[in-house]
Amino acid sequence: MFLITPNSELTEAEKSKLSLLEKIFRAPTEAFDLYLRNVSLGRKELLRLHYALWVLAPISKIAGNLIKIVLDLVFGNEVDFNPLSGVITSLIIYPVLLLVVSQYDVVRVFYRKVDRTKGENYPAADVLTLAFLAFSASSVFWILPSPINLGLIGISFLYSVYLSYIGMKRVSGVDSKEILIFFLFGSAYLLSISLVFVFIYNIIRTLLN
């Protein structure tokens, strides 16, 4: 997707993903509607869009480091010749956070009891994963110097949280109180799972020592 050239012909899926990325900033409610009604979009295409945005993070960070090196050579006294500084951080922060967000999405779908015999259906999936496209798009900010880049990335995170609220209201029709209860329940659930893994890790470490 990020290798699109001016003369290349876009597929329907690529056009839909570009439209989705545009609407997530300009008209968030329309972005959720587009994702749910467009047959060319799905979880696989949504994740591919996230992956394409993540690639920009290390590229932007390396470009920012090179710009800093050039500026230090011209105007500074000390030069840090390390174009790969911070690249690992810029690369892993996005998949780690999306892993957590995707788990919240799973909890959101199943935390309420649904009676299929009464015609009730599970809520639409991937609402939070879609909302965090805004955070993945913050990968371009790594080209800026610290702490400006970190500040803008933090704002992108808060905007994605806001989009999660908008998406849940739009797709599931829940009120603010229920959304707050969900996030508290989801946080408690994920923390419980984390404590189990920490407990198992400590037991294994103790046995090995």
How far apart are the C-alpha atoms of 59 and 62, rounded to whole Å? Answer: 5
How far apart are the C-alpha atoms of 206 and 184, rounded to whole Å? Answer: 33
Tokens of 180: 């707050």
Task: State how many domains the chain has.
Answer: 1
Q: With 70 as the cut, is the pLDDT of residue 7 above it?
A: no
In a domain, 131, yes or no: yes
Beta strands in 107-157 (DSSP E): none
| pTM score, whole prediction | 0.86
Q: What is the pLDDT of residue 123?
A: 76
Radius of gyration of the chain (CA): 21
98-124 residue pLDDT tens: 999 999 998 888 877 766 666 667 778
In a domain, 91, yes or no: yes
Domain limits at 36? 14-174
The DSSP secondary-structure symbol of 145 reads P
In a domain, 200, yes or no: no
In a domain, 194, yes or no: no
In a domain, 190, yes or no: no
178-208 residue pLDDT tens: 889 889 988 998 898 889 888 888 888 888 8
Q: Which DSSP string do the residues of 40-55 spell out, in sequence order?
A: T--HHHHHHHHHHHHH
In a domain, 4, yes or no: no
In a domain, 119, yes or no: yes
In a domain, 19, yes or no: yes
